[in-house]
Amino acid sequence: MNSFLRTTFLLGVMTGLLMLIGGMLGGRGGVAIFFVIAVIMNFGSYWFSDKIVLRAYGAQPLDASNAPELYSIVNELAQSAGIPMPRLYLIDSETPNAFATGRNPHHAAVAVTRGIMRICNREELKGVLGHELSHVINRDILTSSIAATLAGAIMMLASMARWGAIFGLGRSDDDDRGGALGLIFVAVLAPIAATLIQLAISRTREYQADASGARLTHNPHYLASALHKLEVSNERDPLDASPATAHLFIVNPLSAQGIARLFSTHPPIEERIRRLEQMTITS
């Protein structure tokens, strides 16, 4: 029920933002048009968010024939967790990272980069994949996928609003329009609001997946070792990722230094490692 309420709240706030932008761009008519767009987008996000995100990163399917070790690890963990085997995908990037997506355990997918398969040994891959399957088990990947799709749409529409203000779209005597200042306000506010919504999905989601993933693999040090490697590699060579989908990945794919870390969708790696190292797993 909590997952359902979180998703409903997220969809409602995103819909409100889209309608707000619609009102600024087209008055009352714009509100109606963007409400319809929001309904269609919400429906599409629920059913197709996994396909949208995977396509955005050019992810290619993997199976037992072309990734036998990865397939073996995921199959073993899925059986231990009592969930269906998720679909596997490869992202052609040397930056090590991974994410899970899909609306429920029966429609889940796990994507890994070429880089993570190169630098992580079997135990570390097991730790990473245990974390990702925990997102599937905890049923929080639907919320993340919807956030990724709708936040991207809001940022795109906010960009349209900025161009509208520049070229005079809001300069009208019509009281239904917000005017150029209103457009600029929305253009600045909407991306910030979209970011805050993604932060509201909660960093605790990552801590929970770390802990449950460690229990699934029976060894928290697998993931702790992998996180250390991933942090070093991503700081040196950040993944070419969209800010709208950054929260899906196991570590922040974007460069987040200084004050930017305050707005990161991920908790600090050092704190995640510290918590994992303090865990004691009993068989």
The residues near 87 (Cβ < 8 Å, ≥ 6 apart) are 61, 108, 109, 110
The residues near 142 (Cβ < 8 Å, ≥ 6 apart) are 3, 7, 46, 49, 102, 103, 104
Task: State residue 203 phi and psi, 5-degree precision.
Answer: -70, -20
* Cβ atoms of 10 and 38 closer than 8 Å: no
Catalytic residue among 94, 124, 132, 270, which?
Answer: 132
Q: How far apart are CA 2 and CA 258, in angstroms?
A: 34
Q: In what order do the strands lie in the sheet with 87-91?
A: 60-62, 87-91, 109-113, 98-101
Picking from 116, 123, 78, the residue whose alpha carbon sits closest to that of residue 220 is: 123
Picking from 109, 67, 113, 73, the residue whose alpha carbon sits closest to that of residue 90 is: 113
Q: How far apart are CA 12 and CA 33, in angstroms?
A: 16
Q: Is 132 a catalytic residue?
A: yes
* Active site residues per annotation: 132
